[in-house]
Structure 1
């Protein structure tokens, strides 16, 4: 981990720090071990958007997963808080708790019934995607062939999301679906975790046209720390990450760029056991047809493989002569 300047440390302490796509370290069994709770507290993160429901989960299993999340939060009330509205971010910061905002990366759990969005909204789901990499009944992902756009069912779901106050996320949507969503949505559109295609052309990285359109509509783009930032076989570094971050700031403006690590809060496990588990997961994703090009590399950025990765990013912005104002906006 790079040396952090005193100015960056002070900024990080006072800032509201939000990771727009990050998995809290959920244990297999509750309650959470004390050392893991200590790691969460020490991360300095105010809140995260956490994905649940998987990419092909059904309605019942997703309800059960939400129930587990809520039970997990209730068992550790001094540490965790479910984020349901904007005020909960400030509450989490003031009370030094770790906020968790629930989200979906696909619409599989709707089972072609957009009216179920209201049910999930009532349980605290506030962000949702309509497709994950492949095509779905609602729209098409970045790996879909042919690259179709938003479907009629997708338009109905989007309309329901707008009315219910569930934000639409196009991180995994292809260009056609993304453009359709931007045209059809009455509310701002999010890209919670992606990179910049102008820096490195990859299916999961977004064009300047799309980045600018999201910003113009009042949305926010979160930059991820995944290997898709660089060509394979290179493992991306902090400098590579910052090339995407600074490009996004140039295209979108300081009010429309954040962090969406797409990582676990804990550091990536590079041990033999951790890498074996990664290879097993990769094979499963390949069988499902959702593995992206370059996914054979460990899913972290050198220099950001730490629970305090957002602090490292803030420090890197300051060292690149960005004002503290910009770094604080990027943090949250």
Structure 2
């Protein structure tokens, strides 16, 4: 748990030989033109926020980014932040209730794994604010915030379709889901527009964090002639890239910006900036904007999705083409499907 405090400075000036005039100046760092006030100056307790994650905060993306968003809010917004990572599904409700019973003002859970527990526990504690990031549906005491699914699928397919030499591209994911169906649907559509002969192959491992399974799945795709593989398994991009390097093929990351792991093998990453989502949700609450039942989507204009850093194998000409596609989606001249079946 972290708590940000701001200190008061008393400066006493001696003026003249016989006269002492005390002046008390109070300065609070970070409380400048943005109007933020800390707990000491307002007499109010700082907002207490708990974050629940089903994975590792060092996975490079899906779980690490929400954690970083929480820490940014601790450092910049003066909140108290706590988190629990690697929560097994059968313990989610207990962990959520524990934070509620400890007096936390806001409970945020990241990912659709938490959907049922959020709906259940949020109704048990009506005085606490609940937010599900990247979960399907809001509820009577639950707001949701997520990226706009489908956009990354279109953009990734344009890159893959442009750069593949074997006309076989693929992806590794954990499970089939409505949001992944949206992404894959857009990939197929874009690839057909580029070249109807390009094949898209997918392998589902059944586990979001098993690196060995991810590498095995990627290897099977490579052995089948796939020369660009999207990795959507938490923390597995380095292992997949190692295999790809040995076989002379390429990888695209998904969620965090992972090109730095191997700039020659990794073409780019399709970002899911859950740090932006979490930070914005906390800002909204501090501004009095919490609305139960509301679902907010973050698009390209927020910086929460789209391309990350490009690797060495991506030409400047290709980058410019991808930027034009991104701009077209943003200004509406290029339409992509962003509807997720069963989601708000």
Establish whether TM, by shorter chain, passes 0.5. Answer: no
Structure with the higher strand share, 1 or 2? 2
Please tell me whether Structure 1 or Structure 2 has the larger radius of gyration of its CA atoms.
2
When normalised by structure 2's length, the TM-score is 0.30
When normalised by structure 1's length, the TM-score is 0.30
Structure with the higher helix share, 1 or 2? 1
